[in-house]
Amino acid sequence: MSSSTFFNISAGAYILGMVVYISYIAFRNKNIGIAATSLTIFGFVSQSIAFIIRWVNSYHFWLASRPESTFIESLLRAAPLRNLYESLVFFVWSLILVHLIMEFKYKNRSLGAFVTPVAALALLFIDVSGTAKEIQPLIPALQSNWLLFHVLLSFLGYAAFGVSFGAAVAYIIMVTETKTEKTYIFWSIIVGIFLIVLIAMGIDFLSLTAVERKELIQNYFLKATFRSSSGGIVAVSWVASIAFIFVIWRYGLGLKKILASLSITTNMLEEIEYKGIAIGFPLFTIGGLIMGAIWANSAWGRYWSWDPKETWSLITCFVYALYLHARFVSGWRGKRVAILAITGFITVIFTYLGVNLVLSGLHAYGGT
């Protein structure tokens, strides 16, 4: 079977896994929980196989045009971390890996309901953003080992931040008491936007035929809703979104009740939120900022040029440094730092996608 078959199987397993995790939270049946974990592990194994097959294929691809390369060089150049598509896929893989580790370490499944939607979001984005999925030749600037380690460590860092984000959202939901609290409004908007984007991409996905999806070269992100050519659809999308956020706000306390009845404690969520950052921050600083700078220096002779991607990485780093200082030096606790953890992940998403979609830069990771 081909790499993409295995990948599609894993994508299906993750999305199904998300649904099962959420039903686990709703029904609190142990067997449902086991099913959710099994599905996720199954997806993870399948994705790992897909990853290896793709690596092997791209190894042969490289060797075909550069037969004189050594084994190690070809292997490094072929590592499937070379464009937006491959990096998104790797992000999903790392996120699930970090999640499974946390699940086993803390012996608690409920977090899956908050982490798998992040994976689903990334998977849907892959399908609607029109990123090229074939194995592509590497342009000269990307032929660097520094770049490879840079991408590898950054994405592991992003994944750890993603888990921290899931825990922070769950934490905030659990600790807010009344609907008029600012934090309550904050989380209902964040969760609302998150789900709206997820649903909107689902609509994008469904509105495309399989053939169109295959030949998609242009970015279709939110084209079926917010960015539709028809003004009516755009207006409906906005109204529906506002209504949706209102519903979440109105009935959000129910979610809190469900969480409270599970064996999740706020302490555990705080700890996972911190652990994610304690792992993500050094990985991202070393891999994202330092190795990125070394690569830039070897490719362009400048280790830092304030281009948007670099600057947004730095902003991300500032937000997480802020989290660590606020928590460990100023003694902030609870909601305030959880909001920082959430803000941090929003800057991660922007660094990763927003810069390519919204801003332009030197980097080759633009898939639009």
Partner 1 sequence: MEKEKTTIFDKIWDFFASVRLTIVVFIALASTSIIGTIVEQRAEPATNIKLLAKFFGDSTAPTVYNIFVKLGFMDMYHSWWFVSLLILFSVNLIICSIERLPKTWRLVKMPLRPLNENVIKTLPVKKEMSIKTSLNTAKDEVLKSLSSYRYHVLAESAEENAVQLYSQKGGYTRLGLYVVHLSIILIFIGAIIGARFGFNGYLNLPEGMSASYAFLRTEPLSQAEQAEREQMLDIMESSQGDVSLTAKNLGITQDILDAKFKKYGIKPLGFTIICNWFNTEYYSQTDMPQEFQSELVIIENDREVLKKVIEVNHPLTYKGITFYQSSYGMVPNAVGTFVLKVRSTTGAEETLNLKFGQSFMIPGTNTRGTIVDFSPALARDPNTGKLITYSENMVNPAVGIEFDSPNAGRFTGWILKRYPETGVLPDGSQIKFLDYWGVEYTGLQVSRDPGVWFIYVASVIMAIGLYVAFFMSHKKLWIILRPETSGEKVSVRITVGGSASKNRLAFEREIERILSKASRTIEGLRPVGRE
75-114 mask for partner 1 (x: CB under 8 A)?
------------------------------x---------
In the bound complex, what is the minimum distance in angstroms from residue 254's beta carbon to partner 1? 33
Give exposure, 297-335, as e/b (b: 16+ Cβ within 10 Å): eebeeeeeeebbbbbbbbebbebbebbeeebeeeebeeb
Apex CA 125: angle with CA 120 and CA 130, to 5°?
150
Residues with Cβ within 8 Å of residue 47, at least 6 apart in sequence: 6, 7, 10, 89, 92, 93, 96
* DSSP per-residue string spanning 129-151: TT---S--PPPGGG--HHHHHHH
| CB-nearer residue toward ligand HEM: 27 or 328 | 328
250 binds ligand HEM (CB under 6 A): no
Which position among 64, 206, 211, 329 is part of the footprint of ligand HEM (CB under 6 A)? 329
User: Residues touching partner 1: how many (CB under 8 A)?
Assistant: 46
**Contact predicate 80/89, CB 8 Å:** yes
Among 60, 179, 302, 325, the residue binding ligand HEM under the rule CB under 6 A is 325
- Rounded CA separation 205/224 (Å): 9
Q: Residues 193, 203, 294, 357: which binds partner 1 (CB under 8 A)?
A: 294
DSSP class of 285: I
| C-alpha–C-alpha distance, residues 275 and 264, integer Å | 16
> Nearer Cβ to ligand HEM, position 233 or 290?
290
Whichever of 232 and 331 has its CB closer to ligand HEM, that residue is 331
> Does 38 sit near partner 1 (CB under 8 A)?
no
Residues of this chain that bind ligand HEM (CB under 6 A):
285, 321, 324-325, 328-329
Residues of this chain that bind partner 1 (CB under 8 A):
64-66, 105, 136-141, 143-144, 278-279, 281-282, 285-286, 290, 293-294, 297-304, 306, 308, 311-312, 314-315, 318-319, 321-322, 325-326, 329-330, 347, 355, 359
